[in-house]
Amino acid sequence: MRTENGRIIHLANYRRTDFVLERVDLTFELDPTETRVEARLIFHRREGADRAAPLVLDGDELSLSGLLLDQVEMEAGRYDATPDSLTIRDLPESEPFEITITTLINPEANTQLMGLYRTNGIYCTQCEAEGFRRITYFPDRPDVLAVYTVNIIADRQSCPLLLSNGNFLGGAGYGEEKHFAAWFDPHPKPSYLFALVAGDLGVIEDTFTTMSGREVTLKIYVEHGKEPRAAYAMDALKRSMRWDEEKFGREYDLDIFMIVAVSDFNMGAMENKGLNVFNDKYVLADPETATDQDYANIEAIIAHEYFHNWTGNRITCRDWFQLCLKEGLTVYRDHEFSADQRSRAVKRISEVRLLKSEQFPEDAGPLAHPVRPTKYREINNFYTTTIYEKGSEVTRMIATLVGRDTFRKGMDLYFERHDGEAVTIEDFVGCFETASGRDLSQFSLWYHQAGTPLVSVSTAHDAVNGVFTLSLEQMIPPTPGQSLKEPMHIPLRFGLLAEDGSEMTPAAVAGAEITGDVLHLTGRRQSITFSGVTARPVLSLNRDFSAPINLHFEQSSADLAHIARHDGDLFARWQALSDLALPSLVSAARDARNGKKVTPDPALADTLLALAGDETLEPAFRAQVLALPSEADIAREIGNDNDPDAIRAGREAVFADIAGRDTALFATLFARHRTEGPFAPDAGSAGRRALRNAALGYLAVAEGTPARAVAAFEAADNMTDLSAALTVLVHRFPDAPEAAAALEAFRARFTDNALVLDKWFAIQATVPGESALDRVRDLMENPHFTASNPNRVRALIGTFAFANPTGFNRADGAGYRFLAEQILAIDPKNPQLAARILTAMRSWRSLEGGRADHALNALRSITAAEKLSSDVSDIVDRMTKA
């Protein structure tokens, strides 16, 4: 465990290193419990550096077992070694000099999954952000770039495969039982991109010919027997490589690109140079075991990690405050990739759903932080949805502000100016300022001010003079450490809809800069007049979610329904529908809480059913239409004093009302959209399945019996339909014998497939209502549950806490106490995982008083624990700070 629990790192204290690292030579002698690592590091002093300064290297739980200076053993008095640092004094005048460090590490005992660890007999590394210092003493920071040679020595039998970054140099036998391999990565890189994998794995192989005609070998390594399930990932990889060439002019730069899938992994995947390591959940797929969502995730994450080769690896971050420089930008790139591969509007809807359900609550709670923070205690806790998703939205806004072609010019300039460097957000933004000639200093506040801006809108129409007036006011709520905010530059795509649904073109506009269909809101208050507008228009604002904001706009149900039915922008149609639904769901929750009968708004049901039944619209979009705002969406809309039981009861009443209004339509959708023939994971087929399964959810309620879900479960010939039917059955009829039987049949059929059993855990963890906790406790005793595997823990405990509002937020507080217990049990083994799951409680202050008290008590029980990791104590402290 870390010792420097309370230390805060400040951006303002950034300083370059005194020493420049020229070369790194690593030799690993792999052993399950005693791996020997020899690191030869060649340094010289930076020009202008204090020549007496000591060399200070980072470590984490290390012990030094050898230290040489220019191949001669160092005298004890010239250095200090502790588990977390190595300080060397009296370095020679002559340069460069070579330091050789030997450490002994224990991969088997590494349960944090940071540094070098073993998973299912495979040696593997995870170094971002600060894992390399768990392997050897090193200047473990992203602005130290060096060329690496890596030698791996291991048992020939158990480790036929020896992999590292870059290109393969050669290998041979080594004694009786061992062999070795050497790798050389010609591209200077920071230590967080180092990777080593060794073990016995199966492989699928392919090639890719780059735009300049070079042939690159592609390999995906998986456990033996799982090779066929890697085919879709390989296909996604090749499409990603082509797309990056076509859309950004980026070509791959080594002879080989490798992906390794492992089953114990803290996050989704890691972009190590030439050797990506993946959570196997984001590699393995076949129709029998993967849902359409799994396929989409694999495509997106394969692309994401591949795109990092340029945005992250060739150009990296100067320090970890700049994390969004690579993550926000790379998420934006993978979003654009998926939009090009699938339906752009539907992709955008799912992005915005995720942004609103994950990032908006983060930005509105105690963990809120700017996209470019200025301080942190534990960097692992900054791989947040704000850095990733809001970071992506900020990049998207730059593209919106400067226009598509200029955005590409700015990106070209970024690659040209900064290739091979470790840079900052200012460097990135500067490229778009040069390319566009625009001053982006006000825009840059998006990086520095936390909190979701609230834009209040009012409109007036003067029919006599043909003037439409739009008044906008922006307010950015206070967030931890930032009480006062400056007005930001907010790009709002908009349109004025005529009564027949066509787009109106005003004769003139005054009061704001307009570029194309983008209105630039820059003032705190702004009044914009459109002239030559004789008939009253319906304003469609923030089309495509051009800015990640909350809108306060009292638009009438009739106007929202008009947009939902007629807007030219499909995203805007979905957004108008959800804006129509939310007030209805909020008042239903209020009625339910007050014991009043809920009377749903018929305008909502009419519009929703009209869109769902509109055969001219793509099925995937209609499935999104049928997915009412979630319980968490409603809670966010209410804002405070939330009662999750009342929210659910109100939503259920609205859902049942819709289900009962046109059961025939749902039956038709269900019958018509069955996908026949061999399974295809393409977006069109996935959309049909999504629509059909959404209809099944309504039918189960309208019909009130499990029969149809049981039949769907029995007839399903792919995992999407199978798991959807099981979910409807178990969530709607949790106590029915059919539900128990289906769960058991599912378990028995997939007993050897841990990733599928994760779905089985997750479905049960999200059974609504207070009984879920007992189910979760029972499932923790199930032999399929492994407390040391992050996917298992996330599927059961994480899903329960994040995705079961009524189960987790039980009025008696038992859900919170359970989570606190689990956090304390996980923390000593895997602090990163514990801290991440704990963030499920980030919105506890918006709960009604009784629950909030229980939540705070549970958080305090964590604080009171004798020993906490810096990861968990950082989160719990921020969450409980006044």
Instruction: Say if residues 275 and 163 touch (Cβ distance below 8 Å).
Output: yes
Binds ligand TRP by CB under 6 A, chosen from 267, 653, 729, 856 = 267
CB of 87 closer than 8 Å to CB of 59: no
Q: Is 327 in the site for ligand TRP (CB under 6 A)?
A: yes
Does residue 270 bind ligand TRP (CB under 6 A)?
A: yes
Q: For 476-588, list the strands marked E by DSSP.
A: 490-497, 508-510, 513-515, 518-521, 525-531, 538-541, 550-553
Least distance in angstroms from the C-beta of 124 to ligand TRP: 11
Quote the CA–CA distance of 527 and 94 in Å, as a whole number.
Answer: 68
822 binding ligand TRP? (CB under 6 A):
no
**Nearest alpha-carbon partner for 861 in 818, 805, 802:** 818
* Contact pick of 151, 240, 263, 266 for ligand TRP (by CB under 6 A): 266
CB 621 within 8 A of CB 570: yes
Binding site partner of 269, from Zn ion, ligand TRP, none, Cβ cut-off 5-8 A by kind: ligand TRP
Mind giving me the DSSP string for 165-178? SSEEEEEEEETTTE
H/E stretch holding 55: strand 55-58
Residues 6+ apart with CB under 8 A from 711: none
Comparing CB distances to Zn ion, the nearer of 237 and 690 is 237
The answer to whether the CB of 697 falls within 8 A of the CB of 737 is: no
Partner from Zn ion, ligand TRP, none binding residue 567, C-beta < 5-8 Å depending on class: none
Where does 213-331 show beta strands of DSSP type E? 215-222, 256-262, 269-270, 275-279, 316-317
Task: Mark 349-388 with x for binding to ligand TRP (rule: CB under 6 A) and - for no binding.
Answer: ----------------------------------x-----
Contact 620, 569 (CB under 8 A): no
Q: 130 or 327: whose CB is closer to Zn ion?
A: 327
Q: Which residues are the active-site residues?
A: 305
Q: Is 657 in the site for ligand TRP (CB under 6 A)?
A: no
**Which partner in Zn ion, ligand TRP, none is near 270 (CB below 5 to 8 A by kind)?**
ligand TRP
Is residue 261 part of the contact set for ligand TRP (CB under 6 A)?
no
Q: Which residues contact 379 (CB under 8 A, 6 or more apart)?
A: 9, 129, 130, 320
Tokens of 434: 């040069």
CB of 598 to ligand TRP, least distance (A): 43
How many chain residues touch ligand TRP (CB under 6 A)? 12
- Residue 40's nearest CA partner among 125, 144, 149 is 149
The yes or no reply on residue 827 touching ligand TRP (CB under 6 A) is no
Site map (CB under 6 A) of ligand TRP, residues 685-724, x = contact: ----------------------------------------
Which one of 58, 305, 319, 591 is in contact with ligand TRP (CB under 6 A)?
305
DSSP-derived 3-state class of residue 411 = helix
Q: How far is the CB of 308 from Zn ion (least distance, A)?
A: 6
The answer to whether 264 contacts ligand TRP (rule: CB under 6 A) is no
Residues within window 293-332 making contact with Zn ion, judged by CB under 5 A: 327, 330
Query: Which long-range contacts link 402-406 to residues 24+ away (Cβ below 8 Å)?
Result: 402/432, 402/435, 402/436, 402/438, 403/436, 403/515, 403/516, 406/432, 406/435, 406/436
Residue with tokens 């534990």: 378
Give the residue closest to ligand TRP by C-beta. Answer: 267
Q: How far is the CB of 312 from Zn ion (least distance, A)?
A: 7
Minimum CB–partner distance for residue 327 and ligand TRP (Å): 6
Contact between 292 and ligand TRP (CB under 6 A)?
Answer: no
Distance CA 601, CA 581 (A): 9
**Residue 276 Cβ vs ligand TRP, minimum distance, rounded to whole Å:** 9
**Residue 364 binds which entry of Zn ion, ligand TRP, none, with Cβ cut-offs from 5 to 8 Å by kind?**
none
Partner in contact with 14, chosen from ligand TRP, Zn ion, none, beta carbon below 5 to 8 Å by kind: none
Q: Which of positions 383-422 make contact with ligand TRP (CB under 6 A)? A: 383
> How many H-runs (helices) and E-runs (strands) does the chain carry?
30, 33
Q: Considering the rule CB under 6 A, would residue 128 count as an interface residue with ligand TRP?
A: yes
Q: Do 730 and 739 meet the contact criterion of CB atoms below 8 Å apart? A: yes
Q: Which is nearer to ligand TRP, 26 or 113 (CB)?
A: 113
Residues that bind ligand TRP (CB under 6 A): 126, 128-129, 266-267, 269-271, 304-305, 327, 383
Residues that bind Zn ion (CB under 5 A): 327, 330
